[in-house]
Amino acid sequence: MKALMLLFLLLPYSSRMPGSWLLVKEQDGIKMYNRPSEHSKFNDIKIETEFAGTLQQLANILADVEKYTDWAYGTKTSTMIKKTSAYDFIYYSEIDVPWPANNRDFYAHCKIMLDSATQSLKVVSASIKNYMPEKKNIVRLPLSSGTWNVTALPNKKIHLEYILELDPGGNVPAWLLNLFSSKGPMETFENLKRKMKTLNR
């Protein structure tokens, strides 16, 4: 059964119908799913979990671009490029990829929408194609689009659903695809969970 799940996770193409999520990993209260993408040859990823903490705390973490290197897996640099407001901005990020593959990078527009009336938080972060010229020896991600839907729970907890559409670009061997589609997302949310926990001790 585990081998079958791994096969679904690693293959860029799938015979499953679009919209059909498959649970591929569960660890420390974090569930990871994937499904065939409508916009990329690589599977979409969904994370579901619960954190200790508040919507405001999470919004503040996501708005602190320069500290993405502390918790977002493989992030070598993360730089604020342009701010429309504290919760509406464009940033640049470079992802460290093990040799012999090249690092990846992207520019993205991020909008954080906190709704106190419904006790919910929505975040949309989408890469901006051709925002700036590509850098030498770094592969620009053709597609990176993440959506966060977060709701407040009793006892100062939040329920989080994150969906990522991604195309790593360039030549993608199986081990590199695994970093983007399995190891990276899981470790990112484990790090984020620990970071939220430290704020609520």
Say if residue 80's pLDDT is above 80: yes
Say if residue 157's pLDDT is above 90: yes
Burial of 58 from C-beta contacts in 10 A (0-12 / 13-18 / 19+): buried
Sequence-distant (6+) residues with CB within 8 A of 136 are none
Q: Is residue 5 part of a domain?
A: no
Say if residue 29's pLDDT is above 90: yes
Q: Is residue 18 part of a domain?
A: no
Q: Is residue 2 part of a domain?
A: no
Q: Between 111 and 184, whose confidence is greater?
A: 111
Rg for the chain, CA atoms, rounded: 17
CATH number reported for the structural domain that contains residue 190 in this entry: 3.30.530.20
Q: Is residue 9 part of a domain?
A: no
pLDDT value of residue 179: 61
pLDDT, tens digit, for every residue of 99-110? 888 899 999 999
Q: Is residue 7 part of a domain?
A: no
Q: Is residue 22 part of a domain?
A: no
Distance CA 29, CA 193 (A): 10
Q: Is residue 40 part of a domain?
A: yes
CB 137 within 8 A of CB 171: no
Domain tally, the chain: 1
Say if residue 190's pLDDT is above 80: yes
Burial of 151 from C-beta contacts in 10 A (0-12 / 13-18 / 19+): middle
Q: Is residue 4 part of a domain?
A: no
Domain extent for 189: 27-175+185-198
Q: What is the 3-state secondary structure (H, E, C) of 13-47?
A: CCCCCCCCCEEEEEECCEEEEEECCCCCCCCEEEE
